[in-house]
Structure 1
Amino acid sequence: MADYSLFTKVNGDSFTGVLIYVDDIIITGNNLEEMEHLISFFLKQFHIKDLGDLKYFLGIEFSRSKKGLFLSQRKYALDILQDTGLTGARLEKCPMEQNMKLQTIDGAILNDPTRYRRLVGKLIYLTITRPDIVFAVQNLSQFMHQPRKPHMEAALRVLRFIKGTPGQGLFFPAINNLELKAYCDSDHASCPTTRRSTTGYCVLLGYSLVSWKSKKQPIVARSSTEAEYRAMANICLEITWLRYILQYLRVKQKGPTLLHCDNQVALHIAANPVYHERTKHIEIDCHIVREKLQAGEISPIYISSQDELADIFTKALGRDSFNYLSHKLGLLNIHSST
């Protein structure tokens, strides 16, 4: 019920999982005999081809070792660079210039907007394994209706960054504690046009990054605390879904999920059951967070701003901060010479 594309079978201590996307199937489990029996059953019922160990799925490349599993979209990234003719372009150290604010009215309108839209569409798919470019791509996707020259230049900068790190991806270590922990952040009134804030969050399963998002909030927040609290409400829903799906995967959570936030006022509102005059306009979000807190599903905890992993999803950072947070999120480039 958590995901209609995921099917699970439990037989004693044996667990088998099947993930289906149209006509592509991944089978996994802890009992090789059960998995082989299921594959034999499929072969009798359908005309399918067994491709063996998982190496390539929907444009995602998988590399396995005793240390863990590595996911990347290296071939897809190189194809984008080839299609746009940027294989010989100079490199960039960050996907977006620090503190850059793109606007809807700056610069000349592009004569051919389809090129921009096609490029951003490809970059959106690349974010499946590249959380380091999520904030930049989220910004670029806001100008699809009427892209301008500065927007295209910013998109090409993302490509020049990717050129230096085409094989970068996510590493899932084999040894892990499998406990969920979450980070949420916001950038108050960051949009220069609408003055809406940006929500950023990420969720890790042990040391593995499994969920992340960067999104402009739907309404204008009247304070940084309100923007932060709305970010907390969004990640509460994500945590609920992840805890639900982990039950089907037989990964039990022993206690509440730690939710790290760098705004102490937002944490106080979450813990205080009394509504203040200043929080009436965010009543629904207050109910969501407090409900999950009282149900024992989350445990909000303060974290300093420099250790806030979700910061990379809310603003364009400098090179040092960007590289530090990318490393903390588990991003790795196995093709790098260093």
Structure 2
Amino acid sequence: MNFQEAFEKNTWRTAMDEEIKAIKKNETWELVSLPKGHKAIGVKWVYKAKKNSKGEVERYKARLVAKGYSQRADIDYDEVFAPVARLETVRLIISLAAQNKWKIHQMDVKSAFLNGVLDKEVYIEQPQGYEAKGKEEKVLKLKKTLYGFKQALRAWNARIDKYFQDKNFIKCPYEHTLYIKAQGGDILIVCLYVDDLIFTGNNLTMFEEFKKEMTKEFEMTDIGLMSYYLGIEVKQEDHGILITQEGYAKEVLKKFKMDDANPVSMPMKCGIKLSKHEEGETVDPSLFKSLVGSLRYLTCTRLDILYAVGVVSRYMEHPTTTHLKAAKRILRYIKGTTNLGLYYSVSDDYKLVGYNDSDWGGEVDVRKSTSGFVFYIGNTAFTWMSKKQLIVTLSTCEAEYVAATSCICHAIWLRNLLKELSLSQKEPTKIFVDNKSAIALAKNPVFHDRSKHIDTRYHYIREFVSNNDVKLEYVKSNDQVADIFTQPLKREHFVKLRYLLGVAKSSLRGVLNM
């Protein structure tokens, strides 16, 4: 949609008026003559119909965006990096709220980037349709950032970070967009993803004070109970919280014309081995990358497809019809299971527990292994990983040992994060491994023919085992939940592990047992 088409419709014209009004209220710019030696950056209107989880339009949003691609490094901007919350942190907060029967609330900062202060002298052209009469040749000197600028996110993050710390929130050193305020036995936890805030805790008075202060400082939208966040549907019930991406899954199926496909019961056939040298015609890499990217985001709640998505993502540069067929099989599996998600509920044993596994040389082309781990706190998984290892291992013991090292690194980070949330793990975190040799190698500083070549960095694991921060325990291969992240499985075993991960129907009628 271009400007002329939008300007002729009342809904979009009203949205543009509201955007200009917010910009002027925020004192974002001033009208000046362009100084010599400077160049005005262009701007454009971007239109978006904001929808809810049901696909219904909630509001029309017009955004004035700078053409940031024309900015010059060290002249128009310096640093651009800004942190955002990890999705595993969001799932951890959901799990914590479900365990304590807290409600999670959500707020949105209107025109968030307009609150960031610029540290450079920047000029932009006047926006189309809102030029000052008789002064069309003048430009706008920015005092604050605008959407589209490379430094906009960093400037906004610096602004909101300073606000939280001035209000006596403690910034989590292990998750830089997580803020915690504790007063006696009361706690308020705030998680920030750009301009979307979610918060939970045990004191409703703190909730109301927080919302009042935020609304006073910024122009906010109080969304109420968290129900739709970053494409994830959240259903908060008395006995638990379910998160799904049912709407997004249906959009992906429609986008790739698979909404009428025949469903299958497995995302990948058992025993299949893909290679870079598969037979078949070359397919459009852009289409394949778009498909894999869409599937990758779906793993935010659908960890049952993580391994299959990881495998097909290895062939994005030169995909063939065989690779495309494997990716479309994942879509066919999604077609029959769109209503699956993760259900977080109250647990009698709310402790951090991990499962770690690895195959051996499963990658056909370079014979690298795949590491996989998953962590629970309570009955349902909240963080997971499936990734090809960086090195070629010489035995199953070494492959498991390398996988355990990355798992323990993550466990230490999680223990530190939980401590900040007043959930200190006083006992060692149990990590279940199905290889006794790898456990023995982690516990004993031995160097024999099968282990002396292992890089020193992988022996990092021994320090935390000896300090009693983590404890490796043996589990039978049939009960190794992380097995689902390292290789294609038989249907019965796949369904069993999916059940153990906490995957449930969106109807909240219990865990799927199909």
Say whether the fold is shared (TM-score over 0.5).
yes
Name the counterpart of 1:108. 280
Q: Aligned AA for 1:150?
A: T
Q: Which residue of 2 aligns with 1:324?
A: 496
Question: Does the 8 Å CA contact 1:109/1:146 hold for their aligned counterparts?
Answer: no
- Identity rate, percent: 37
User: SS of the counterpart of 2:454?
Assistant: helix
Alpha-carbon distance in structure 1 between the residues aligned to 2:364 and 2:439: 27
TM-aligned CA deviation for residue 286 of structure 1: 4.7
- 1:82-97 correspondence runs (5 A): 82-97=254-269
AA partner of residue 392 (structure 2): V
- Give CA-to-partner distance per residue, 1:192-243, whole Å, 9 cap, x none: 1100011111111121201111111111000010000001001001101111
> Residues 22 and 255 (structure 1 numbering): CA distance in 2 closer, same or farther, change over 3 Å?
same
| 2:387 partner SS | strand
1:36 deviation in Å?
1.2
Equivalent position of 1:39 in the other structure: 211
Contact 2:283 2:321 (8 Å CA) reproduced: no
Alignment-derived partner of residue 250 in structure 2:
78
Write the distance in 1 (CA, Å) between the matches of 2:356 and 2:314: 22
**3-state DSSP class of the match of 1:188?**
coil
Aligned AA for 2:277?
I
CA distance in 1, matches of 2:324, 2:301: 23
Runs of 4 or more above 3 Å deviation: 335-338
TM (norm. structure 1) is: 0.97
1:49 pairs with one of 218, 221, 224: 221
- The answer to whether residue 302 in structure 2 is matched with residue 130 in structure 1 is yes
* Structure 1 gap segments, 5+ residues each: none
- Distance in 2 of aligned mates of 1:175 and 1:274: 39
Q: Which residue type is aligned with residue 194 of structure 1?
A: V
**Contact preservation (8 Å) 1:178, 1:205:** yes
Greater CA drift, 157-166 or 248-257: 248-257
**How many residues matched?**
338
Q: Quick one: which amino acid aligns to residue 407 of structure 2?
A: I
Report what 1:174 is aligned to. Answer: 346
Cα distance in 2 for partners of 1:176, 1:30 equals: 19
What one-letter code is carried by the residue in structure 2 that aligns with 1:65? E
CA distance in 2, matches of 1:249, 1:308: 29
Greater displacement, 284-293 / 163-172: 284-293
Question: Quick one: distance in 1 between partners of 2:508 and 2:264?
Answer: 16
Shift of 1:277: 3.8
SS state at 1:49 partner: strand
With structure 2 as the length reference, what TM-score do the two structures score?
0.64
How much does 1:336 deviate?
Answer: 8.6
CA distance in 1, matches of 2:248, 2:494: 23
Using the TM superposition, name which of 3-12 and 327-336 deviates more.
Answer: 327-336
In structure 2, C-alpha distance between the alignment counterparts of 1:93 and 1:151, rounded to whole Å = 19
CA distance in 1, matches of 2:283, 2:470: 49
**Aligned pair partner of 2:470 in 293, 298, 306:** 298
CA distance in structure 1 between the aligned counterparts of 2:272 and 2:335, rounded to whole angstroms: 21
CA distance in 2, matches of 1:290, 1:4: 28
| Structure of greater relative contact order (alpha carbons < 8 Å, 6+ residues apart) | 1
Read off the aligned partner of 1:100 and give its amino acid letter. I
Alpha-carbon distance between aligned partners in 1 of 2:208 and 2:281, rounded to the nearest angstrom: 57
- Where is the helix percentage greater, Structure 1 or Structure 2? 1
